[in-house]
Chain A
């Protein structure tokens, strides 16, 4: 009799623990995704300031500024899917990289203290975004492990926990911006 009761208690406890572990992992993923959003928001706030200062000096890059403005407008509208968002993000990063390279042709801009400060902030947010993405990927990996590994995989399918995708960074994105080179060359 005691054996049967003991066994039932054990099974209930095991199920509860595994379930809670899965929920915890899923929430960690959501939390990590939220952090990326916060960092991206920071970048959107920074972008107009940077563009504003750069515009004053960079006479021949008007096209980049127009593109950046329209991309930012699209990215900040609420009704886009996360896939679209990632795509827009990549485009913004790519354009910014080009812009930072062309800064070299404008010595006055390079000397502007305000611009240098903004550029530093930009580097900082870029790196924070990358850190947030890595944290997100780590959380997803942990969650996926819980979903796939025995014995929690039994409950994962029962309670409908599905694998999640990690962030894949486009090939062009993967090379870190070497901002030191941007400053010194």
Chain B
């Protein structure tokens, strides 16, 4: 993503020196695993001659799996503590690997109205960028569909939920959601949007490109336009082009909530059998952190020319 040069410096000075100890630990575990695997399966083969069947293989496989999981867990938390934390604190922010944006905040955002059966998140980042308080974390929410044997977990949202203090005062609720129906069905889609009873009034904005990408609902027609100034609409469009994924925003209780869909688990170490010095992966993670920090600049949240300080 952006700012590769600044990452290069961080990588050389702060990240690389931390890799040595982690890498030794990883190698020790990996070697042990390989050794136990070789011995275990070797014995299994010998047992084959005694007509023991595949049962010993299963036992060995399960044993190795638990051994791997146990060590991977400890290794993962050390990796997050050492590597991800360093990248986050370099931006002047705080990091808590185990925490996530609270479910109450997720619900307050009103971005997803689907009831939740499973709520999972980690990698919580918080702090201040200029005059603006921000926090974000990875989230993965699902609901159960079907019943009995057909029960399945369906994804509601997977990605990063970002919350920041908004720079204008407002009292209503405004949501900017990705547009599905209007894109597919034109005027008829727009008619359907107006009939969405789970959302407040449909707001038709004058920016054609913005209207194509998003559908806006708000409790107040004027306030929605006060928040979504022509400049902000442009900025949101630019941000969407940059991140190249589905985004949804809501403006509630003086905060802006931004849900950025990302279909992978971020800020995780590579597998125990790969070197942790995975430059391209680190660049990606750093890119996502930068992207979230950059939202403040991108949406011009530090401009405090209105009565809100």
- State the A residues within 8 Å of B (CB): 32, 35, 39, 117, 119-121, 123-124, 127-128, 130-132, 134-135, 137-139, 141-142, 176, 179-180, 183
**Complex CA distance for A139 and B204, rounded to whole angstroms:** 9
Q: Does B307 contact A120, Cβ atoms closer than 8 Å?
A: yes
Report how many residues on chain B are interfacial, defined by Cβ distance under 8 Å.
20
Q: Given A124-B168, A142-B204, A176-B231, is A135 in contact with B225 using a C-beta cutoff of 8 Å?
A: yes
Can you list 19 A-B pairs, Cβ within 8 angstroms, ordered by A? A32-B221, A35-B222, A120-B305, A121-B307, A124-B306, A128-B226, A130-B229, A131-B226, A132-B222, A135-B221, A138-B203, A138-B205, A138-B206, A138-B225, A141-B204, A176-B229, A180-B303, A180-B305, A183-B305
Contact with A along B224-257 (1 / 0, CB 8 A): 1110011100000000000000000000000000
Q: Does B305 contact A137, Cβ atoms closer than 8 Å?
A: no
Q: Does A135 contact B305, Cβ atoms closer than 8 Å?
A: no
| Contacting residues, chain A, for B94 (C-beta < 8 A) | none
Q: Does B307 contact A131, Cβ atoms closer than 8 Å?
A: no
**B203: nearest chain-A partner, CB-CB:** A138
Q: Does B206 contact A137, Cβ atoms closer than 8 Å?
A: yes
**Complex CA distance for A142 and B224, rounded to whole angstroms:** 17
| Contacting residues, chain A, for B168 (C-beta < 8 A) | 124, 127
Q: Given A117-B307, A176-B231, is A128 in contact with B222 using a C-beta cutoff of 8 Å?
A: yes
**B300: nearest chain-A partner, CB-CB:** A180
Contact of A127 among B205, B229, B304 (CB under 8 A): B229
**Complex CA distance for A138 and B218, rounded to whole angstroms:** 14
> Is B23 among interface residues, defined by CB-CB distance under 8 A?
no
**Complex CA distance for A120 and B206, rounded to whole angstroms:** 26
**Complex CA distance for A142 and B229, rounded to whole angstroms:** 20
**B307: nearest chain-A partner, CB-CB:** A120
Q: Does B306 contact A120, Cβ atoms closer than 8 Å?
A: yes
**A176: nearest chain-B partner, CB-CB:** B231
> Is B223 among interface residues, defined by CB-CB distance under 8 A?
yes
Known contacts A123-B305, A130-B225, A137-B206; can you find 18 more A-B pairs with CB under 8 A?
A39-B222, A124-B168, A124-B169, A124-B306, A124-B307, A127-B168, A127-B229, A127-B306, A128-B222, A128-B226, A131-B223, A131-B225, A132-B225, A135-B222, A138-B203, A138-B204, A180-B303, A183-B305
Would you give the shortest CB distance from B63 to chain A, in whole angstroms? Answer: 64
Q: Given A35-B222, A127-B226, A138-B221, is A179 in contact with B206 using a C-beta cutoff of 8 Å?
A: no
Q: Does A131 contact B306, Cβ atoms closer than 8 Å?
A: no
Would you give the shortest CB distance from A105 to chain B, in whole angstroms? Answer: 20
| Contacting residues, chain A, for B304 (C-beta < 8 A) | 120
Would you give the shortest CB distance from B123 to chain A, in whole angstroms? Answer: 33
**Complex CA distance for A176 and B168, rounded to whole angstroms:** 17
**Complex CA distance for A137 and B230, rounded to whole angstroms:** 14
Would you give the shortest CB distance from A146 to chain B, in whole angstroms? Answer: 13
**B304: nearest chain-A partner, CB-CB:** A120
The residue in A39, A135, A176, A180 that gathers the most chain B C-beta atoms within 10 A of its C-beta is A135
Contact with A along B116-157 (1 / 0, CB 8 A): 000000000000000000000000000000000000000000
Would you give the shortest CB distance from B97 to chain A, in whole angstroms? Answer: 37
Q: Does B222 contact A131, Cβ atoms closer than 8 Å?
A: yes
**Complex CA distance for A127 and B231, rounded to whole angstroms:** 12
Would you give the shortest CB distance from B165 to chain A, in whole angstroms? Answer: 16
| Contacting residues, chain B, for A130 (C-beta < 8 A) | 225, 229
**B169: nearest chain-A partner, CB-CB:** A124
| Contacting residues, chain B, for A124 (C-beta < 8 A) | 168-169, 306-307
